[in-house]
Amino acid sequence: MVVYVDADACPVKTEAEAVATRHKTKILFVSNGGLRPSQNPLVEMIYVSDGPDVADMWIADRAGPNDVVVTGDIPLAAKCVEAGAQVLRHSGEKFTQANVREQLAMRDLMTDLRAADPFRQGGGRAFSKSDRARFREALEAALRNVSAP
């Protein structure tokens, strides 16, 4: 059992490390660089080369059943769900076989809408303490689920 974190721009690295440590589970932070190494023996920093989706491909090639993946990237989530991993957004929302295809379609639609209207502004709401709490609870549940016989 491994927790893979798509670590570039991940707002819950500290929470993920704390929960994984409580469960004595290895956690891999995968990024293009720029992250400080952790002194925690359960944490491994994986630095991949620069390039689009290199970290995502690294995770997708390795994650499988009994693993947990933390990412906000929907295409990566879809690949990992397909491989049998449990996948969580930073907000704690779980990607599943039932919802990941719909989320991919919505992502593609929004990309098309933004391309059609270059003046379209906006973004998501601010990441909150309650988002962090939901993430911690979801990761706790995922790790209990994966380690259950």
For 20-76, write each residue's pLDDT tens digit. Answer: 999 999 999 999 988 889 999 999 999 999 888 899 999 999 999 999 999 999 899
Backbone angles phi, psi at 97, to 5 degrees: -60, -35
CA distances from 117 to 26, 108, 112, 126 (A): 44, 14, 9, 23
Spell out the residues 6+ positions from residue 11 whose beta carbon is closer than 8 angstroms to its own. Answer: 90, 127, 131, 132
Question: Quick one: tokens of 132?
Answer: 């962090």
The rounded distance, in Å, linking the Cα atoms of 36 and 139 is 22
Q: Where are the domains of the chain?
A: 2-118+128-147
Sign of CA dihedral 143, 140, 7, 134: positive
Residue 129 reports pLDDT greater than 80: yes
8 Å CB contact between 59 and 87: no
Residue 124 reports pLDDT greater than 90: no
CATH class of the domain defined by 2-118+128-147: alpha beta
**Could you report the per-residue pLDDT of 77-95, keeping only the tens digit for each?**
999 999 999 999 999 999 9
